[in-house]
Amino acid sequence: GAVVSQHPSWVICKSGTSVKIECRSLDFQATTMFWYRQFPKQSLMLMATSNEGSKATYEQGVEKDKFLINHASLTLSTLTVTSAHPEDSSFYICSARGQGNEAFFGQGTRLTVV
């Protein structure tokens, strides 16, 4: 199946710094990408939907100025957590949807803010 690669797999950063997470579709063009966050033993919570070349659509309660999403090409979307705080520590997952029936997920990024 299609491959979606997320980088980094894990990151530890200091409180107040920014962290960028990349999501790449390796063998298909992703017109739409989704960003999720997941807390321990909870389901995936959709944060935002990004379409190539346009602004992301954020879900209610998600701060767009804190979670910056850029979808500059059909194979790359980035999520930047700005001024990270310990409560931002979570598992972040991206998903890419091409022209087919299914969405493909990255392996996730474990963010720990200390």
Partner 1 sequence: LAKTTQPISMDSYEGQEVNITCSHNNIATNDYITWYQQFPSQGPRFIIQGYKTKVTNEVASLFIPADRKSSTLSLPRVSLSDTAVYYCLVGEPYNTDKLIFGTGTRLQVFP
Binding site for partner 1 (CB under 8 A): 1, 4, 6, 31-32, 34, 36, 43-46, 49, 51, 91, 93-95, 97, 99-108, 110
67: which 2 tokens? 């979670």
Supply the minimum distance, in Å, between the C-beta of residue 106 and partner 1: 5
Supply the minimum distance, in Å, between the C-beta of residue 93 and partner 1: 5
Q: Which is nearer to partner 1, 83 or 113 (CB)?
A: 113
Q: Which is nearer to partner 1, 16 or 72 (CB)?
A: 72
The span from the CA of 55 to the CA of 62, in Å, is 14
* CA 43 to centroid of chain Cα atoms: 15
Supply the minimum distance, in Å, between the C-beta of residue 15 and partner 1: 23
Supply the minimum distance, in Å, between the C-beta of residue 82 and partner 1: 23
Long-range contact set of residues 37-44: C-beta below 8 Å, sequence gap at least 24: 37/90, 37/91, 37/92, 37/93, 38/90, 38/91, 38/92, 38/93, 38/108, 39/90, 39/91, 44/93
Q: Which is nearer to partner 1, 9 or 83 (CB)?
A: 9
